[in-house]
Amino acid sequence: MKLVVFGANGPTGRQVTARALAQGHTVTAVTRRSGGFPLDAPRLRVARADVRDPAAVERAVAGQDAVLSALGAPYGRKPVTVYSEGTAHIGRAMTEHGVRRLVAVTSTVLFGAPVPEEGFFFRKVLEPLIAGTLGRTVYEDMRRMEEIVRRSDHAWTVIRPAGLFDTDDVSDYRVATARLPGRFTSRADLADAMLAEATGEGHVRAFVDVRTTRGTPSTLDVLRQEAFGAKK
């Protein structure tokens, strides 16, 4: 398939791009800074574009079979618009060029459901701190993004991972359309799930949780990573 990956130079985007190439797909990796992109392959095209530029987005989407969005933004006090603005431009470009399949990433926080099998401190203190204080502007824009996607007529899937961490290998992760137990999702598992959704029948017009079940880090490690500007 011909796949375009937005946010391709972020930690998740690089995993998606590498795994897509390894599976034999042709990939357009979209990044604001094309110089020094760490991957190189015959079926890879690196496109310099900002998702806030609708003309650039349209050029990247033209001729593709599916779109994968791994857009990310750091936590901070300033308003965040990259998710909603970028996704609106992606959606219009998909409509213009007849591209139907979209897989995008937000967060498990947006399920708005109790955390299964977690203790009082995580449910009542830690997650509210992350969702309501540290990451408030990020999650507000993710909600706007999800509404844009939900109202579209595309064949979309939104994946809502938990706290992201890095591993080299894909595990026997879990997937469900409701919030799963556990606090973490490896980027390898997230990338694998994104590709499985984009290239198969998948969970069309659904919000999907992906959860890593082994080899997970401590809550403190992930909190420290998220609080100091890690991107998807």
What's the CA gap between 213 and 43, in Å, rounded?
33
Band (pLDDT 50/70/90 cuts) for residue 229 is very low
Band (pLDDT 50/70/90 cuts) for residue 168 is confident
Residue 132: pLDDT above 80?
A: no
What beta strand segments (E) does the chain contain? 2-6, 26-31, 44-48, 66-69, 101-105, 155-159, 163-165, 174-176, 184-186, 206-211
Residue 126: pLDDT above 70?
A: no
What local confidence, expressed as pLDDT, does residue 230 receive? Answer: 44
Q: Is the whole-model pTM more than 0.85?
A: yes
CA separation, residue 102 to residues 58, 69, 74, 139, 146 (Å) = 14, 8, 23, 20, 12
Residue 231: pLDDT above 90?
A: no
Residue-wise pLDDT for 105-121, tens only, equals 999 999 976 666 666 55
Higher pLDDT, 54 or 222: 54
Give 227's contacts (C-beta < 8 A, 6+ positions apart). 75, 134
**Of the listed ranges 132-141, 157-166, 168-177, the one predicted with least confidence:** 132-141
State both tokens at 159.
Answer: 């994946």
Higher pLDDT, 136 or 154: 154
What's the CA gap between 190 and 160, in Å, rounded?
9
Identify the structural domains of the chain with CATH numbers, from first to last. 2-227 (3.40.50.720)
Give the residue carrying structure tokens 């990020």. 138
Question: Is beta strand 206-211 parallel, antiparallel or unpaired with respect to 174-176?
Answer: antiparallel
Higher pLDDT, 172 or 215: 172
Residues 195, 90, 100: CA angle, nearest 5 degrees: 55
**Among 128, 213, 227, CA closest to 173:** 213
What's the CA gap between 28 and 43, in Å, rounded?
8
Average pLDDT of the chain to the nearest whole number: 89
- Grouping H, G, I as helix, E, B as strand and the rest as coil, residue 58 is helix
* Helix (H) or strand (E) segment spanning residue 12: helix 11-22
Give 228's contacts (C-beta < 8 A, 6+ positions apart). none
